[in-house]
């Protein structure tokens, strides 16, 4: 039990660092947008505020990066070192050569990618049906969907483990994807329902007059106009699947299927915690999330303009 709690504490620390790092781009962009709209008299204060937000958000990640570049003797010294002097890449080399961290990364990409794809497809169909079609009791159905996500995850681990064992699905991508999709669908449906419901129904009526069916309206009208919501929801689903720890720990025991959070937790042993390797792995897994946020930020802006302007 103490080992599990220790693994969970490391996981929470890693997730906090990842969440803060991913938030840097968004917070900085929002702050800078407001700064550009301020009068000159308040511009300096605005820039200082933006700088504070960036420093507050990026600080834990930069400290983690500094830790990953320091030697082991510096990490256990009585006086911590702010800068990695002398710097070393031994921890990054170690996680890829000794720990085989690339396998955990590949597993996480497959599981999180498949989860995001299935969540968006199934969630878009369900949200469109509830938001745009004449279905009685739609809000009752939405409440039922939301109630599914209220179950404590720790309470369903054991039953799902027994079910996965009976179906011979342990140590497979399938069990992780199915569980993650089931957990992520309520959020996806609710977020997309809000976007779909806000689109004027006259647009659907015009498409029907042109002979479009429900699926044509969904994929050629509703989804393009709701692209910001689709992209945002996809990112939320991907990050949730990327960071999930408890089910991955329970359902996988082989490095061929274990994901990144489980892999980082496996770095530790009973008598030694390789802080340098953990920091290096945490820095590596943060990079894909930052790249995704920066890449889709442009698509979110394009989606806003495409949805708000009719040619």
**pLDDT tens-digit profile of 6-48?**
455 545 544 554 444 444 455 454 444 454 454 555 666 777 8
When computed from its CA atoms, the radius of gyration of the chain, rounded to whole angstroms, is: 23
Where is average pLDDT lowest: 9-23, 176-190, 247-261, 277-291? 9-23
In this prediction, residue 158 carries a pLDDT of 92
Third-level CATH fold of 100-266? MetI-like fold (1.10.3720)
In this prediction, residue 173 carries a pLDDT of 95
In this prediction, residue 175 carries a pLDDT of 95
Q: Flag whether pLDDT at 192 surpasses 70.
A: yes
Backbone angles phi and psi of 272, in degrees to 5: -150, 135
In this prediction, residue 9 carries a pLDDT of 52
- Contact 192/229 with Cβ under 8 angstroms? yes
**pTM for this one?**
0.78
In this prediction, residue 211 carries a pLDDT of 86
In this prediction, residue 205 carries a pLDDT of 86
Where is average pLDDT lowest: 7-21, 35-49, 213-227, 229-243? 7-21
Give the sign of the dihedral formed by CA 160, CA 162, CA 167, CA 173: positive
Band of pLDDT at residue 298, cut at 50, 70 and 90: low
Question: Angle at the Cα of 63 (from 61 to 65), degrees rounded to 5?
Answer: 70
**Domain positions in the chain:** 1-99+269-311, 100-266
Where is average pLDDT lowest: 218-222, 250-254, 288-292, 299-303? 299-303
């Amino acid at each position: 039990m103490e080992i599990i709690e220790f693994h969970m504490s490391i996981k929470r620390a890693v997730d906090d660092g990842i969440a803060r790092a991913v938030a840097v781009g968004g917070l900085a962009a929002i702050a800078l947008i407001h700064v550009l709209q301020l009068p000159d008299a308040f511009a300096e204060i605005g820039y200082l505020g933006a700088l504070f937000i960036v420093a507050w958000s990026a600080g834990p990640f930069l400290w983690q990066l500094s830790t990953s570049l320091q030697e082991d003797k510096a990490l256990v010294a009585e006086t911590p070192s702010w800068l990695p002097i002398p710097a070393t890449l031994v921890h990054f080399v170690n996680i890829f050569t000794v720990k085989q961290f690339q396998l955990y990364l590949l597993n996480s990409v497959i599981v999180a990618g498949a989860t995001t794809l299935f969540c968006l497809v199934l969630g878009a169909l369900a949200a469109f049906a509830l938001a745009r079609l004449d279905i009685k009791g739609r809000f009752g159905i939405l409440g039922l969907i939301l109630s599914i996500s209220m179950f404590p995850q720790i309470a369903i681990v054991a039953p799902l483990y027994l079910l996965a064992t009976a179906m011979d699905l342990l140590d497979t991508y399938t069990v992780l994807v199915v569980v993650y999709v089931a957990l992520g669908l309520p959020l996806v449906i609710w977020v997309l329902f809000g976007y779909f419901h806000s689109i004027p129904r006259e647009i659907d009526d015009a498409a029907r007059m042109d002979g479009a069916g429900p699926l044509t309206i969904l994929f050629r009208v509703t989804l393009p106009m709701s692209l910001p919501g689709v992209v945002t929801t996809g990112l939320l689903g991907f990050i949730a699947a990327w960071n999930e720890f408890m089910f991955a720990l329970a359902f996988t025991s082989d490095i061929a299927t274990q994901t990144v959070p489980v892999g980082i937790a496996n770095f530790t042993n009973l008598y030694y915690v390789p802080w340098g390797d953990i920091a290096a792995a945490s820095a590596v897994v943060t990079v894909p999330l930052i790249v995704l946020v920066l890449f889709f930020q442009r698509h979110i802006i394009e989606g806003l303009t495409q949805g708000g302007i009719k040619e």
